Amino acid sequence: MLAEERTEIAKEDLESLTNLLKHTLSVNDKIEWETLKRTDSFNKPIPSNSFKQKSALISKPEKPILLTPPSKPEESAFLPSIGLIDRLFSSRKQNKIQSSQKQFDEAQLFWESECKRIENKNRQSLSEYEFSLEEYKQKIARLKNLLQEEDNFWTEEKVLFDKEKQEYNNKIDQLREEYFKFNPDAVIEHFELVLNGSDYPDYFPRDFNIEYTPDSKMLYIDYSLPSLDSLPTLTEVKYIATKKELKESHLSSTALNNLYDHVIYCICLRTIHELYEADEANSIESVVFNGWVNVLNKSIGKKSNTCIVSIHVKKSEFSEIDLEHVDPKLCFKSLKGVSASKISSITAIQPIVQLSKKDKRFIQGSDVLDSLQDEANLASMPWEDFEHLLREIFQKEFSSNGGEVKVTQASRDGGVDAIAFDPDPIRGGKIVIQAKRYTNTVGVAAVRDLYGTVMNEGATKGILVTTSDYGPDAYEFVRNKPLTLMNGSNLLYLLENHGRKFKIDLQEAKKLYK
C-alpha cells in the first residue's frame, strides 16, 4: 500500500512538471482587484453586552425573612377558674387570682422580652442586608464602569480597524488607478501580484525582480529558476516481498536533463503569457525575461547566480502563438530566445538586456526637439540642451525596438552623458553615449576616455557624438573596438531620418562662444 501511494505521488509530481505550461492556460491571470480588498469584520464583541452574564456572577443578597413577634398575651386567657369552694373560701379564691395575675405578668414580661429580641434580630438582619446590598450595588457599579471603559476602548479599536481597512482598500483602488495610468511603481507592483499568484511546486524559488520603462512600455524581469538537483526524480516504488524492502526507480540522467530543459522553457513562456494576459491596461508592449539559477561553480567551489535563458518578446508577436499546441523549446527558439543547446549544462549566457535603472546619475530628460526651429545651428546650442537633444533622438531611434535612453546628471567631466538600453539580441545591451558639442576636431584622448568608460560601465558599446569631426588617430583607435564615432554630418543625417532638419555652422558657433 505504501509503495503504491508513493508511486502515485511520484507520478503526480512529474506530471505537474510536464504540464507546467498547459496548467496556466486554464487559469485567468488577470488581477481580481476586489478580491485583494479586505472584507474582514471587527468581530470582537461589545464588552457591555456581557453585563448580564458577568453581573450574574456577583451574588445579590437576598432580602431577609423577618421574624414575626409573638402575639401579645391576653389577660382574659389567664383568668382563674373560680369554683364553689373558692367562693366559700375567699383566701383560696384570692390565691387563685394572685397566681393567675402572676402568670399573666410573667407572660407579659416574656412577650415584651421576645418582642425586643426579635426586633433587635430583625434590625440586625436588615442592617446586614443593607450593607450587603450596598456592597452589591458598588460591585455592579464598578462592573458597569469597567465595561464602559472597555466599550470606549472597543470603540477606539473598531474606529482604528475600520480606518486601516478603508486605507488598505483605498490603496488597492489607488494601485489599480495608478496601474492604468502606467505609473512605473504601480505597474511593477501589479505584475508582482500576478507572478506571486502563479501556482508552482513548493520547491520552486519564488524570487524575481521587475523593472518597467514607461516610454518604451517594456517590462524587464530577472527570474530565479529551480536548479536541476531540486527536481523530483522518483518514478516508481515497488515492494520486494522476498527482501521485505521498498525499491525505488528514478529518472535516468538523460531523462532528467530533458525534463529540466522542458521545465525551464515552460517557466519562461508561462511567465510571459501570465504577464500579457494580466495586462488589462495594455501597459506593456514587450517583455524581457532573463532566467537565473543559483548553482555551484565548481571552478571556485562556491554558488553563483548564472543567467541560462534570455528572451525579448513583443506582445504582438507573442499573441500569435497557440501555447496549447507548441513545443516549448521550439517556441522559445522561434522567438529568438537565447540559451545553451542543453539548458541542463547550466551554461552561462549574456542576457539580451540588463537594465539597471537604479543608477542615481539618471535624471528626468527634457524634450528640446519641438522647441528648436528648422535650420537651427546645433553647434551653438547650450551644451545641456545638446545632451538632451541626443537623448531624445536616440530614444526615437531605439524605442522602435523596445529600447530606452536615460540622460545622466550634467557634470561636464567627460563621463557618461546618456545610457541606452537596447533589447536587440544582436546589437543590444547597455550602450554608453557621450556628447561633444565641439567646434574643433575631437582628438583621440576623448575617444580613449570613452573606451575606458565603456569598460568601467560594463557596457556592450560606446557612441561618441560631436558637432564637429574626429582626427585620423581617433578613427584608427576605434578599429576593432565596440565604439562608434558620429560626426556632425552623421548627426544631421540621423535627425533628418526622424523628420527634423537642422544645420551645423562651426564658424558661427566659434564667433558666438569667443
Q: Are 332 and 367 within 8 A, CB to CB?
A: no
**pLDDT per position as a tens digit, 79-122:** 888 778 777 777 777 887 788 888 888 888 998 898 999 999 99
Q: How far apart are the first and last CA of the chain?
A: 95
Assess contact for 504 and 483: CB atoms under 8 A.
Answer: no
pTM above 0.75, yes or no: no
Amino acid 353: pLDDT: 65
pLDDT, position 407: 64
Distance CA 30, CA 279 (A): 7
Quickly tell me which residue has 546589437 as its cell: 427
Hey, which residues does 465 pair with through a beta bridge?
435, 486
Average pLDDT over every residue of 290-315: 82
Question: Average pLDDT for residues 201-216, to the nearest whole number?
Answer: 86
Residue 326 Cα distances to 143, 270, 330, 334, angstroms = 73, 12, 8, 11
Q: What is the DSSP string of 64-85?
A: P-PPPPPPPPPGGGG-----HH
Cα distance between residue 402 and residue 423, in whole Å: 6
Ranking 1-10, 54-63, 64-73, 181-190 by mean pLDDT, the lowest is 1-10
Average pLDDT, the chain: 85
Quick: pLDDT tens for 382-392. Answer: 877 787 788 78
Question: What whole-number distance in Å separates Cα of residue 203 and Cα of residue 137?
Answer: 64
pLDDT tens, 123-174? 999 999 999 999 999 999 999 999 999 999 999 999 999 999 999 999 999 9
- With residue 401 as reference, give the H or E element that holds it: none
Residue 307 burial class via C-beta count within 10 angstroms: exposed 0-12, middle 13-18, buried 19 and up = buried
| HEC readout, 213-230 | ECCCCEEEEEEECCCHHH
State which of 105-109, 348-352, 388-392, 400-404 shows the largest mean pLDDT.
105-109
Other C-beta atoms closer than 10 Å to the C-beta of 284 total: 24
Angle at the Cα of 118 (from 115 to 119), degrees rounded to 5?
80
User: 369 falls in which pLDDT band (50, 70, 90)?
Assistant: low
- Cα separations in angstroms, 474 against 312, 419, 440, 478: 35, 22, 14, 7
Query: Per DSSP, which regions of 160-285 are E strands?
Result: 208-213, 218-224, 234-240, 245-250
Is 60 exceeded by the pLDDT of residue 47? yes
Domain ranges in the chain are 2-29+198-345, 47-173, 362-512
> Which residues 6+ apart lie within 8 Å of 155 measured at CB?
none
What is the pLDDT confidence band of residue 299, given thresholds at 50, 70 and 90? low
Exposure string (b/e) for 346-355, b if CB count within 10 Å is 16 or more? Answer: beebebbbbb
The fold of the 362-512 domain, in CATH, is Trna Endonuclease; Chain: A, domain 1 (3.40.1350)
Backbone angles phi, psi at 352, to 5 degrees: -60, -45
**C-alpha closest to that of 261 among 199, 306, 327:** 327
User: Under DSSP, is residue 170 helix (H, G, I), strand (E, B) or coil?
Assistant: helix
Angle between helices 90-180 and 184-196 (to 10 degrees): 110
pLDDT computed for residue 360 by the predictor: 42
Q: What is the pLDDT of residues 24-37, one digit of tens each?
A: 888 899 999 999 99
